[in-house]
Amino acid sequence: MSKKGKILILVSPSGGGKSTMTKRLLKDFDQLKFSVSATTREPRKGEQEGVHYHYLSKDVFKEKIENNEFLEWEEFYNGTMYGTLRSVVENELNKGYFILLDIDVLGALNVKELYGDKALALFIQPPSLKVLKERLIARGTETEVSLETRLERAEKEMKYAPKFDTIVINDDLETAYSQIKETVSTFINS
C-alpha cells in the first residue's frame, strides 16, 4: 500500500448493531484495520495487550492526555478511562490502512473535525428508542438500572446523529449492512 489511509468511524447507541457491522466490515475489507483503544481498566481473562486494548495505568494515561497523545478520550462514571492513541492511528494510516474506530459520539465528532474529508463518520441508528429497548432486553445482559442508563445515553447520542456524514437506520440488519458496505466501499475507493 502506497497512499495514506483514511479513518472510518462507526457510532451507534448500545444495541444499535455497531459490533455486528464492525465484524462484517473487517471481514469484507482487507484494507480496514480495527483501532485498538487504550484503557485504564485491568485486562479480563484471555485479553492481550495490543490485541484487545493497550492497558495503561491512570498516571500514564493522564500523562498522555497532558501530552496531547490521544485523538479522543473519555472517563466513565466508575473512573475507567478509554482513549484512541494518536500514534497508533497515524502509524497505520501511514502504512496505507483504513482505520476503523469504534468510539463514542463526541469522540467521533472530534476525530472528524481533526481529519476532515479523510474521515467518514457513520451513525448507525435504531429505528426508535422502543425498538432499541426491546433489543437490549432480548440480549439478556442488562439490569433494570443499566437498561435505563443505556436508554438515557442513547437518547442523548441520537440527538448528535445529524452532525455525522451518514446516518443508517438499522431496522433490518441486511439492508442496513448493505447500505453501510456500499458507503464504506465508495469512501475507500475515492
Report the relative pairing of strands 54-55 and 38-39 from DSSP bridges: parallel
Distance CA 118, CA 131 (A): 33
**What is the structure's pLDDT at 119?**
97
Helix (H, G, I), strand (E, B) or coil at 159: coil
Is residue 85 pLDDT above 90, yes or no? yes
Distance CA 24, CA 136 (A): 21
Per-residue pLDDT, averaged over 89-95, amounts to 94
Strand ranges (DSSP E) for 68-118?
Answer: 70-75, 81-85, 98-102
Beta-carbon neighbour count of residue 10 at 10 Å?
24
Q: Where are the domains of the chain?
A: 7-189
pTM for this entry: 0.88
- Give the DSSP letter of residue 49: B
Is residue 2 pLDDT above 80, yes or no? no
CATH superfamily of 7-189: P-loop containing nucleotide triphosphate hydrolases (3.40.50.300)
Is residue 146 pLDDT above 90, yes or no? no
